[in-house]
Structures are given as C-alpha cells and as structure tokens.
C-alpha cells in the first residue's frame, strides 16, 4: 500500500488483445494525470479515458488504493468524473482487465470497479451504454473467462459476468451468447473453464433455473460428469451448481430429478477429506448446509448415508475443528427443519444418541486456565474454552428444542451416570453443562420430575472437588430454575436454595461464589414469595457479606441477587431496608473509575428495585437523596460502551412506578436522555461479500459487538448495543405513559413522534413491541387530559388520527405472528378508547383484518400438511400445536378488535363486518380445534351482546344457537365457558326469538353446573358463567320456563368468587330480582332468605376493594344494605334470627361492619 505507480519503473511495449474486439496501442501516456488537483480538466479526463492508452487510467486505479489519503480522495473524484462518459469508462475498465501484460493488482482493481460501476443504481450506467459498447463488454468478458491465467482474476471475472447477466435479466434484456457459451465450456472446456462456467451456473441459477427446466436432462448429465471429474475444483463447482439449482427450481418434482446425484455429491466431500484437503471439504460442507436449509426433503432418499458420513466427520478427532463443526451444523440444521421434514431425523437409527455423545465430546474442549479462577470480568468467563466447546453448547440447546424431551432425555440418561462418575473433571463438567443446555428444550419432560432433574447438580455441588465442576453444577441449577420454574421452586426449594447459600461460603473460589449469587436471581425470579420467605434472613446475611468481598465480580453478582430478592420479597423487604440502603448509596458515591462501571450500574438497578419493593411510603424518606445521587451520576455523562446507560433508563422507570405523581418534577431531567436513546439510529455497515479477505470476515464474525446478516451478495453488520439501548428506552417510555397517564402530557408529542416510526423498526422486535404497547397508553393519557380540560376534543381527535392509521399500516406489514397479534390487541384497545372517532379508519381496518385472516388461514393449512407426512409423530404434533397457539392469538385479538368495534358502533357496524364473518363461521365446525371454536363463539357472543339493537343480530341466531348450545358440553373448558356465556347473552338480547331453544339451553347449563368437579380450578370459570347464564334465563325468558322452580337452584350456587366481572354482574342481578320479584326468589314463606343473607354476607364486605377483587359494585352494595336494613325492620324476629343463624360469628361481624360503614 505504501508504493505508488509513480515510483515504479516505466515500461513501454505494445500489446494487442488476442481474439479481441478491443484494439489499442498500450503505450505510456503522453499526458500524465496529476491526481492531487481538486478539479480535473477536460484534458485530464481525456487522458484517463484515452482509447489508445491505458497508462493514465492505470495510474488512476493505483491511486485509488494509495495510503496517502489526499491522493486517494483526489483519485476517487477523478474516477467519479469519468463516469460522465460511461462508454469510455466501461471500455477502459475492460482494456485494463484484458491487458495480460499489466500488473495483476491493476487488473483485479479494474474487475472490482467494473462490477461496482455496472451494478450501481440497479445497473443504470451499464443500461445507458451504447449497444455496441455493451456488446464489446460482454464479448470481452467471455473471452477473458477463456483466456485468463490468473485464478484471482478469473474469479472476479466470473462475478462480473454474473452481475452483468443478472442486471440484464432483471431489465428483461438478453445476453444470447451466454448460455451457449456456458454449456460449451462445461462440456468441452478445460478444467478451469469448466469450473468457471459451473460457478456462473450456480450464481445465476435464481435467474435461469426455470428457463432450463426443458434442458434438465442435459444439465443432469453435465453435472453428473463434472461430479466425477478428476479435478477437485471442478467437482466442488459442480456440487455448488447442483445445490443452487435445487434451491432455485420451484417445482419439487424438478428438484427431485437431481436427487440421484447425491451419492456423487457426497463423494466429492469424501474425496476431499481423503486427499487431506480440508479447505475444500469445508467449502463442500458449507454447500450441504445450504442445501439442508433450503430443502431438507431433498436428502431423504439418501438420508442414512448422509447422516453416517456427517457423523463420522463430526466424531473424527484428527480433523480440524472447523471441519467437524460444519458436519455437525449440517446434522443440526436437518433436525431443525421441522416445518418441511417433521420427525425425519428421529427415525434415523441411533442418530440422536451418536449426535448427543458427539456434542458432549465437544464440551471436553476446555482447559483449566489459571486466570479463570480469578477473573473479575464477564468477558473472561470463557477462559479455557475452545471453539468446539462453544459449538457443543449451542448445538445441544438447538437439538433439544428441535427434537424434544421424549427423544433427547433418553440420550442424556444413557451417558449421564458414566460421565458424572468419571475421574476426569472435564467429563463431569461436560455432563452438567449438557444437562443445563438441554433443559429449555426438555421442559415438559423434566417438569414431570423436577427433584430428579436437579439431583446431578446438587450432588456435584456438594461433593465434587473441582471448582469448575461445582461452577457447572451451579450453572445447571440456575438454568433449570429459569426453565423449570416455578414448579422447581415449589417442589425443590428445600434443597436448591440451601445448596446455593452454601456455595456462597466458598471464599477460595470467588467464581463459584459469584455464580451462586447469580443463580439465586434465577431462583427468585419465578419463585412464589412464600417459598422464598423462610430463607430471607440467611440469604440477606450472605449477600451483605459478599458485598464486602474484595472480588468485583462477586460484589456485582451479590448486588444483582439482592435486587432480585427485594423484587421477590416486596413489602417483606422493609426489615432489611435500613441496612441495605447505606451500602448502595456508598457504592454510588465511591465506586469511581471505569473498572467499577458495572458495579455502579448494578447498584443503580438494586436501589430502584429496593425502592419499588418497600413502596412509596417507606422510600419517599430517602427518595430525594437517591434521586440527587442518580442525577449527579447521569450528569457526569457516560462513554459509548458504558452499560450504565441502560441500567439508568430502567432505574428511572422503576422509581417512577414507586413514586407515582411525585416523580413528575424529575421528568425534565429524565426525558431528554431517554428520548435521545429511544431515537438512536441503527449503526449498520453494509459491505459486498468477498471484497474482504477470509481472515477479515472471520474477525468480523468473532466480534460480539455486531450481529452479521448475509443477504444476497451483501453482508449487513448491525451494532447490537445500539439496538439494545434503543429497545430499553422504548420500553421505558411505554412504562412512563402507562404509569403517569396525563402527567406525561408535556412530553406526549415527542413520545408519539418516537413511537410511530418505531412501529416499523424491523431490526429489533422489542422496539416494535414497545411501540405497539404504547399506542393505547398514549390515547388513554390524551383522553384523561381531555376529560380534565387540559386539551379539547379536537386535539384528541387529532391524536386518534395520528395513531390509528400508522398502527393499521404497520400491522399489514408485520412479519412476526406474535407481534401481529399484539398489534391487533393494541388496535382493539385503541378503538375502545377512541369510540366514534375510529369511524374514519374503519375501511382500512377491516381490509387489513381480511388480509391478516387470509394469511393466517394459509399458514394454518400449510402447517396442517405436515401432519400428513411419513415422519410425523407425537412430538411433532406437540410442536404443531404450539405453533398453532401463536396463530390462534391472531384470531383471538381479531375477535377483541371486533368486540371493540361492536361496543362503539353496535348494529351499524354489522354490514361492514359481514365479509369477515366468512372467516369465522367455518371455525364453529366440530372438526376445528378447541381454540378455533372458542374464538368463533366469542365473536358471535359479542355480536349478540352489543349489536342486537333493532333485532339486527337475530339473523345469526339460527346458525349460531346449535353450535353454542352443543359447546356447553364440549370437552374443552374454554369452549364451555364461551358457550354458556353465549347462551346467557342470547337469552338476554334475543327476546321471544330464543324461546324455542330455552329447554335445550337449560339442559346444557344444568350439565355444566351439576358436572362432577365443576368447581375445580380448570372448570370454575365455565361453572360461574353457566350460573350467570341461568340467572339471565330466569330474568329474560321467564315466559318459557318456571322461574320459581329454577331460581332456588340458581341461588344455591351463589356467590360467584373467581370471575370477578361475572360475579359483579350476577350479584347485581340478584339485587334486581330481590327488588322486582322477591317472592319468586325468597319463596312463599321466605324459606330462601337465609341463603340470600349468606350470599350478601359474602359479597358486601368486598365492595371497598379494588376492581380486581371486589365482588359487588359500590352502588349495588348500597342497595344490598338497604334491603338488609329493610328486612331487619319489617320481618318477625324469629325469621331474622333463623336467617342470621346460618352465618358464622366471623361472617356476622363482617356483615355488621359492612352495614355500619
């Protein structure tokens, strides 16, 4: 790079391109170009583009790679200026490329620049070339392919031909000479030309694949011959072309015509390994991986042979790690191909056991690095771990998720005893790491015996002499606490938490101490507080001791554990508050310096969680001091890589939740940095693949700061820290709006301007999810501000118009089903808040619903096809059901949207909804899944409940009433609940039209109410909704039944206690009946009065509780009091005494207190 063309000796000689249409004299330029000038004269450009000389142009190309920045920039400007004469520039690039006497570097540069110039702006420059120039360029490129001797340049010529050809095809232009040339080259050319032509076939397969279908037989013969070539590069190129055509051909039957080539394709890999050419073998393995990703079914007929070969490579200890890793990746990729080849790999004899054993062997690629034992930074946690170790970890996790517990747990059980009892610490370590890695994928199997699942880890933690094995045991416990919680915490807290507490005493091994503290975070996050309570004193003593340790990683882990403990304990943490807070404040004040950044950040996290735990009343005494400390810390600024930023964002939000309105004065300080983080632009680098060396690309892959995505010829690198900070900030903004409501009004506009674009931020799902969740919260905040008079209705209408259209637009474009469901949920809430104001957006909303439902049904149908494949089994059925659950959520939230619209517009919306009901009616069929039937029933429940005005919904009665009544006895509790609710709704809103169905409906409700176990947890909601529906039947269909007979049965099942909404409704109905039809309810001799009093005694005391807990609304409670006071003054004393006698002393006291309040 330090040399320039100007320093090289001049050479003067003539050169004429053989068989070339480019005729020129390659002499030294008479005019030398000064590349240091700011502007280029016509004379300079004439010299550069001189058709009779390439010297000035070659000098320019050399300057483009100069180490002198100024010279390089001037040459870049000169090259840009030359683009004004596209024909001249194209010809010069080709002349330099074809000048065999020229320097290799200049010719390589010409090929690279030609590729860039001809492809920029969708090939605009090439398309604008004169036809004769295009013809010359195309001809010379093909000639170069035949005549070029330099391998590097040949490859670049191949790439250039592919780019030019692809551009022409995209513009529907032709290169008539190309395919005949390629077929001729593959059939009759030398090995290098065959290789080049095959590589072009591969690269252009996506463009020419379908056009070659009539010539598949010819192509098959050519590829078969090339796969048997004596020249290895030709064989690899043929392998590449085969894989590319399989990917490109649309018709599966066309693809399968190449299936018989698989043995020869596989033999190419075997031959490379036999020739000890592992570079070529790795290239071939990469192609097989792409094939497995593209069409896993392609290998089915030769699956046993493929698996045996790949397993043999993966197990071969003498091969390079990279080769073994790639063979493993092929096998794991096939196991993950469940959508196209479900269950296929489970059927291969002994495959799972051998693969599992192989991956566990990879975990032995670890050394007992001395520095590991004293490492204080997270990035040093992997000291001693080799590349195979990391691959083994990742792949164990992946195969467990892909294959499931019924397949993977037996493989684990087969090897665990021998490994855990081995004298080699590496094998004991590997056994425990493997166990923790498969836990996520084997949750269902492990949850059947959580005590047994953790036993190997508990045993090793208590008895193993090697600290790295004990560390692995702690790691396994922590991982399983997350994956198997809360069942593990409930069933095994008496063994797991004491073991972790004991490990915190291991002062000789700070890594184990720190990891034990970290594992208590996993334990506490999903632990019922009552399971944690007995250990709080001991745990707090341990953590406070660790906070005083000299090891920074131990202190950091202790802080995180303390924060998590506070979060779990909540108000019970008050007893430790006075001891803990001084520690935390001391860290914030004194932990200075970059080496303490993480310690300081975790102290910030901890202090905010402690504040939330103890609550506003206790924390407010210290709030001002804590807030001032945090403001001082934030005012000092943070370096770009300082994670304290994200911790601060979350801490401010927790403190806002803790302090509520008292936090509003701090918003001016907090919101600026928060909005800045939320508006961060992604740090994205896009490069052409292959322009950097392999070593540079490998270094990029190893850089954890960036996530790399290969898209076509481009490599896109995204800095992950920026995305994480942006996602955190967006989540925090959502929390502020939700917590402060109209208190956030001064910042509502910038929040809205931040969140609307984030709805379509496709680089990070959490950003979109936060934006989606914020939309109804922003509307609610705006609505409250309007209701309080801070804003007018016109402003709120404008806010609605700002939010609804972008949400609908983003929903239509959203690629993730889960987020699509959240968008529907958000839209339903927005519609509920907006009410009539959503009218202008109905057309767009309903059209989008139609598109989403169509796509969802197509995905369902595609998944259901998997159930008919040969390899489909029980585990695949479970996986299919889980995927369908996510799809059901889309329909579920669509139903919520319909419900919101019906509540806002009632029957007026029905004509617009009619087309969408065509998607819903088929879901009522008994053959559909329970979730689908429930969703359909819920939609019609809403129609009858909210759109029966003027009898508009009656037309749906005949089609709905039968599946609804039948659904009351469905095996699925959720279907039963929706169905009995629907019976009640129809009884209330359909009047005499429902009378013909009353007797059948009564029988259905009775079957739900009287069924054995009807009040069990899984049935209670269906039971309570059935009781409510029975009451509606008595109230609204009294002419078709004998209420005096039925009401006592209804009363006997009161009060309702679990479904709080239905409870409040039915208890209000009880009061209506007492006020309007007391005789029917109480009986002729008031024999049912004791039961009524008992029910009122149960529900009245709850009227002062929150909406989530109360069983009766305050207004209804007042009427209940009046009723009780009235009967006390009007009934004979003996009847009152009899009624009150059914109450316990405790209930009598509670009732008297309620009456007196």
**Residue range 973-1023, pLDDT digits in tens:** 999 999 999 999 999 999 999 999 999 999 999 999 999 999 998 999 999
Q: What are the φ/ψ torsions at residue 860 (nearest 5 degrees)?
A: -60, -45
Predicted local distance difference test score (pLDDT) of residue 1068: 94
Q: What is the pLDDT at residue 14? A: 29
pLDDT of residue 748 exceeding 90, the answer is yes
What is the arithmetic mean of pLDDT over 654-667? Answer: 92
Q: Which of 373, 378, 393 is nearest to 479 (CA)?
A: 393
Q: Are 503 and 516 in contact (CB under 8 A)?
A: yes
Judge whether 205 and 248 are in contact, CB under 8 Å: yes
Whether the per-residue pLDDT at 871 is higher than 70: the answer is: no
Which residue would you say has higher pLDDT here, 429 or 29? Answer: 429
The mean per-residue pLDDT over the stretch 338-353 comes to 83
**pLDDT category of residue 120 using cuts at 50, 70 and 90:** confident
With a CB cutoff of 8 Å and minimum separation 6, the contacts of 847 are none
- Average pLDDT over the chain, rounded to whole? 89
For the ranges 432-436, 744-748, 925-929, the lowest mean pLDDT is seen at: 925-929
List C-alpha distances in Å: 1083 to 393, 717, 1044, 1123.
72, 78, 8, 16
Please write the tens of the pLDDT for every residue from 774-804. Answer: 999 999 999 999 999 999 999 999 999 999 9
List the beta bridge partners of residue 825: none
Q: DSSP for 472-515?
A: HHHHHHHHHHHHSTTHHHHHHHHHHHHHHHHHTT-TT-HHHHHH
CB 781 within 8 A of CB 737: yes
Query: CA angle, corner 463, sides to 459 and 469, nearest 5?
Result: 80
- Which residue's structure tokens are 């059948």? 1000
**Structure-token pair, residue 353:** 């056991």
The tens digit of pLDDT for each residue in 819-834 reads 999 999 999 999 999 9
* Contacts by 637-644, CB closer than 8 A, 24 or more apart: 639/594, 641/721, 642/597, 642/601, 643/597, 643/598, 643/601, 644/597, 644/598, 644/600, 644/601, 644/604
CB 779 within 8 A of CB 755: no
Tens of pLDDT, residue by residue over 903-920, are: 999 999 999 999 999 999
Is the confidence at residue 24, as pLDDT, over 50? no
Question: Are β-strands 714-719 and 684-688 bridged in parallel, bridged antiparallel, or unpaired?
Answer: antiparallel
Cα separation, 987 vs 944, whole angstroms:
10
For residue 204, the SS3 value is coil
Q: What is the pLDDT of residue 6?
A: 29
User: Tokens 């004379």 belong to which residue?
Assistant: 43
703: pLDDT strictly greater than 80: no
| Phi, psi of 685, deg, nearest 5 | -120, 125
- What is the predicted pLDDT for the residue at 714? 67
Mean pLDDT calculated for residue range 558-582: 94
Assess whether pLDDT exceeds 90 at residue 709. Answer: no
Nearest to 200 by CA among 186, 211, 190: 186
Question: In this predicted model, what pLDDT tens digit does every residue of 75-106 receive, in sequence order?
Answer: 999 999 999 999 999 999 999 999 877 688 89
What is the rounded average pLDDT of the residues 633-645?
A: 80
Q: Is the dihedral of CA 1036, 1037, 1038, 1041 positive or negative?
A: negative
pLDDT tens column, 1026-1059:
999 999 999 999 999 998 899 999 999 999 999 9
Only one residue has tokens 């393995």, namely: 285
Decide: 76 and 64 in contact? Cβ < 8 Å. Answer: yes
Mean pLDDT of 720-736: 91
Listed in sequence order, the DSSP H helices in 906-1058 are: 910-920, 930-946, 957-967, 973-989, 998-1010, 1020-1036, 1043-1052
Cβ contact 458:476 at 8 Å: no
What tokens appear for 709 in the block? 């995505």
- Decide if 920 contacts 961 (C-beta within 8 A): no
Contacts of 809 (CB under 8 A, 6+ apart): 759, 760
477 contacts 471 by C-beta, under 8 angstroms = no
Each residue's pLDDT tens digit, 163-191: 999 999 998 998 999 999 999 999 888 99
Confidence at 17, pLDDT banded by 50, 70, 90: very low
Contact by Cβ (8 Å): 484, 450: yes
Q: DSSP string covering 627-671, please?
A: HHHHHHHHHT---TT-THHHHHHHHHHHHHHHHGGGGGGGHHHHH
Mean pLDDT, rounded, for 325-331:
97
**Alpha carbons 896 and 892: distance in angstroms, whole number:** 6
Which of 1014, 1033, 1030 lies closest to 1022 in space, CA to CA?
1014
Q: DSSP string covering 707-775, please? A: EEEEETTEEEEEEHHHHHHHHHHHHHHHHHHHHHGGGGGGGHHHHHHHHHHHTT-TT-HHHHHHHHHHH
Question: Which DSSP symbol is given to 990?
Answer: S
Q: How far apart are CA 106 and CA 26, in angstroms?
A: 14
Distance CA 969, CA 782 (A): 45
Rounded-to-5 percentages of helix, strand, coil across the chain: 75, 0, 20
- Amino acid 13: pLDDT: 31
Enumerate long-range contacts of 492-495, CB under 8 Å, 24 or more apart: 492/450, 492/451, 492/454, 493/523, 493/527, 493/531, 493/532, 493/535, 495/451, 495/454, 495/458
CA distance to 324, 944, 993, 1044, per residue, from 953 (Å): 66, 6, 11, 30
Residue-wise pLDDT for 484-496, tens only, equals 999 999 999 999 9
In angstroms, the CA 17 to CA 24 distance is 8
Task: Report the DSSP beta bridge partners of residue 708.
Answer: 717
Q: What percent of the chain is modeled with pLDDT above 70?
A: 92
* Residue 326 binned pLDDT confidence (cut-offs 50, 70, 90): very high
Rank 60-69, 379-388, 390-399, 680-689 by mean pLDDT and report only the highest: 390-399
Using CB atoms within 10 Å of the CB of residue 1118, give its burial: 0 to 12 exposed, 13 to 18 middle, 19+ buried: middle
Is 25:59 a contact under the CB 8 Å cutoff?
no
Task: Give the residues across from 715 on adjacent strands.
Answer: 687, 710
Distance CA 331, CA 319 (A): 17
Residue pair 467/507 in contact by the 8 Å Cβ criterion: no
Q: What's the whole-model pTM score?
A: 0.74
Taking the C-alpha atoms of residue 10 and residue 29, their distance in angstroms, rounded to an integer, is 11
Mean local confidence (pLDDT), 638-652: 83
Are residues 730 and 770 in contact, defined by beta-carbon separation less than 8 angstroms?
Answer: yes
What is the average pLDDT across 48-61?
Answer: 90
CA dist., res. 43 & res. 49, Å (int): 10
DSSP 877-943: HHHHHHHHHHHHHHHHHHHHHHHHHHHHHGGGGHHHHHHHHHHHGGGGSTTS-HHHHHHHHHHHHHH
């Amino acid at each position: 790079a330090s040399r320039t063309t100007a320093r090289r000796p001049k050479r003067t000689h003539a050169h004429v391109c053989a068989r070339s249409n480019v005729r020129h004299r390659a002499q030294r330029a008479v005019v030398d170009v000064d590349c240091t000038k700011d502007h280029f004269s016509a004379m300079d450009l004439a010299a550069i583009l001189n058709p009779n000389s390439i010297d000035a142009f070659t000098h320019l190309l050399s300057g483009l790679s100069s180490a002198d920045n100024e010279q390089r920039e001037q040459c870049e400007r000169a090259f840009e200026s030359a683009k004004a004469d596209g024909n001249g520039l194209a010809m010069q690039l080709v002349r330099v490329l074809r000048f065999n006497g020229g320097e290799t570097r200049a010719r390589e540069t010409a090929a690279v620049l030609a590729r860039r110039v001809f492809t920029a702006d969708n090939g605009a420059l090439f398309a604008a070339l004169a036809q004769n120039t295009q013809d010359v360029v195309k001809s010379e490129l093909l000639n170069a392919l035949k005549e070029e001797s330099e391998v590097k340049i040949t490859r670049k010529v191949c790439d250039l031909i592919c780019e030019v050809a692809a551009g022409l095809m995209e513009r529907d232009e032709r290169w008539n000479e190309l395919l005949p040339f390629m077929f001729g080259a593959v059939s009759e050319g030398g090995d290098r030309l065959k290789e080049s032509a095959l590589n072009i076939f591969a690269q252009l397969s996506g463009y020419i694949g379908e056009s070659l279908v009539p010539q598949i037989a010819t192509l098959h013969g050519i590829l078969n011959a090339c796969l048997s070539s004596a020249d290895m590069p030709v064989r690899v190129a043929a392998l590449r072309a085969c894989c590319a055509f399989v990917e490109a051909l649309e018709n599966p039957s066309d693809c399968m015509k190449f299936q018989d080539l698989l043995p020869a394709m596989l033999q190419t890999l075997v031959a490379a390994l036999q020739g000890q050419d592992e570079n070529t073998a790795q290239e071939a393995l990469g192609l097989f991986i792409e094939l497995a990703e593209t069409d896993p079914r392609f290998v089915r007929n030769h699956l046993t042979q493929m698996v045996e070969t790949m397993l043999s490579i993966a197990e071969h200890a003498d091969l390079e790690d990279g080769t073994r890793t790639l063979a493993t990746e092929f096998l794991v990729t096939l196991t993950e191909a469940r959508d196209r080849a479900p269950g296929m790999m489970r059927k291969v004899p002994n495959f799972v056991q051998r693969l599992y054993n192989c991956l566990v062997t990879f975990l032995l690629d670890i050394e007992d690095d001395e520095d590991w034992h004293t490492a204080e930074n997270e990035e040093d946690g992997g000291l001693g771990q080799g590349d195979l170790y990391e691959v083994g970890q990742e792949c164990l996790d992946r195969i467990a998720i892909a294959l499931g517990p019924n397949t993977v747990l037996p493989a684990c059980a087969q090897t665990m005893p021998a490994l855990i009892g081995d004298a080699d610490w590496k094998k004991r370590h590997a056994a425990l790491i493997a166990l923790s890695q498969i836990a996520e994928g084997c949750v269902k199997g492990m949850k059947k015996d959580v005590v047994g699942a953790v036993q190997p880890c508990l045993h090793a933690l208590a008895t193993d002499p090697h600290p790295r094995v004990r560390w692995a045991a702690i790691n396994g416990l922590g991982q399983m606490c997350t994956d198997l919680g809360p069942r593990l915490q409930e069933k095994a807290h008496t063994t797991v938490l004491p073991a972790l507490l004991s490990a915190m005493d291991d002062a000789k091994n700070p890594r184990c101490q720190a990891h034990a503290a970290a594992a208590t975070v996993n334990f506490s996050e999903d632990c019922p507080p009552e399971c944690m309570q007995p250990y709080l004193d001991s745990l707090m003593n341990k953590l406070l001791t660790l906070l005083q340790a000299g090891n920074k990683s131990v202190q950091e882990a202790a802080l995180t554990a303390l924060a998590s403990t506070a979060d779990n304990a909540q108000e019970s943490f008050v007893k430790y508050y006075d001891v803990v807070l001084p520690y935390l404040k001391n860290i914030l004040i004194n932990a200075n310096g970059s080496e303490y950044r993480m310690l300081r950040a975790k102290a910030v996290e901890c202090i905010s969680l402690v504040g939330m735990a103890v609550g506003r009343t206790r924390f407010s005494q210290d709030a001002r001091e804590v807030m001032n400390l945090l403001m001082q810390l934030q005012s000092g600024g943070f370096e770009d890589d300082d994670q304290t930023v994200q911790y601060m964002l979350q801490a401010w939000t927790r403190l806002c939740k803790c302090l509520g309105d008292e936090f509003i004065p701090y918003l001016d300080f907090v919101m600026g940095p928060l909005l800045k983080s939320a508006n961060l632009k992604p740090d994205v680098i896009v490069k052409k693949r292959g322009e950097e060396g392999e070593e540079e690309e490998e270094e990029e892959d190893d850089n954890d700061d960036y996530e790399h995505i290969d898209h076509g010829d481009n490599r896109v690198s995204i800095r992950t820290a920026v995305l994480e900070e942006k996602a955190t900030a967006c989540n925090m903004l959502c929390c502020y709006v939700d917590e402060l409501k109209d208190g956030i009004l001064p910042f509502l506009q910038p929040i809205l301007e931040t969140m609307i674009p984030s709805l379509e931020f496709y680089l990070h799902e959490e950003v979109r999810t936060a934006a989606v969740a914020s939309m109804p919260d922003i509307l609610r905040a705006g609505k409250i501000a309007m209701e309080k008079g801070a804003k007018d209705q016109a402003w709120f209408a404008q806010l609605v118009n700002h939010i609804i259209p972008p949400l609908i637009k983003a929903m239509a474009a959203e690629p993730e089903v889960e987020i699509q469901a959240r968008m529907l949920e958000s839209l339903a809430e927005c519609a509920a808040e907006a009410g009539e104001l959503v009218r202008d957006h109905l057309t767009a909303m309903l059209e989008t619903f139609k598109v989403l439902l169509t796509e969802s049904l197509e995905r369902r149908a595609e998944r259901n096809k998997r159930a008919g494949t040969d390899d489909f089994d029980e585990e695949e059925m479970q996986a299919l059901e889980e995927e369908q659950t996510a799809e059901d959520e889309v329909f579920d939230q669509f139903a919520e949207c319909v419900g919101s619209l019906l509540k806002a517009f009632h029957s007026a919306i029905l004509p617009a909804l009619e087309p969408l009901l065509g998607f819903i009616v088929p879901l009522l069929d008994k053959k559909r899944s329970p979730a689908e039937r429930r969703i359909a029933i819920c939609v019609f429940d809403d129609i009858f409940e909210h759109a029966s005005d003027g009898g508009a919904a009656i037309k749906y009665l005949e089609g709905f009433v039968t599946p609804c009544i039948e659904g009351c006895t469905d095996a699925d509790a959720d279907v039963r609940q929706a169905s009995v609710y629907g019976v009640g709704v129809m009884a209330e809103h359909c009047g005499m039209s429902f009378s013909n169905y009353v007797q059948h409906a009564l029988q259905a409700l009775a079957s739900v109410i009287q069924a054995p176990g009807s009040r069990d947890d899984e049935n209670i909601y269906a039971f309570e909704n059935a009781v409510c529906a029975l009451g509606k039947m008595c109230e609204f269909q009294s002419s078709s039944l004998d209420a005096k007979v039925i009401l006592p049965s209804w009363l006997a099942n009161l009060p309702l206690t679990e479904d709080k909404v239905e409870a409040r409704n039915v208890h209000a109905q009880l009061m209506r009946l007492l006020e309007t039809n007391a005789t029917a309810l109480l009986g002729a001799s008031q024999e049912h009065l004791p039961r009524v009093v008992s029910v009122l005694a149960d529900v009245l005391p709850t009227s002062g509780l929150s909406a989530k807990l109360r069983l009766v609304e305050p207004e209804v409670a007042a009427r209940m009091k009046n009723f009780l006071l009235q009967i006390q003054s009007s009934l004979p004393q003996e009847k009152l005494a009899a009624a009150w006698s059914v109450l316990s002393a405790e209930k009598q006291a509670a009732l008297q207190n309620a009456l007196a309040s």
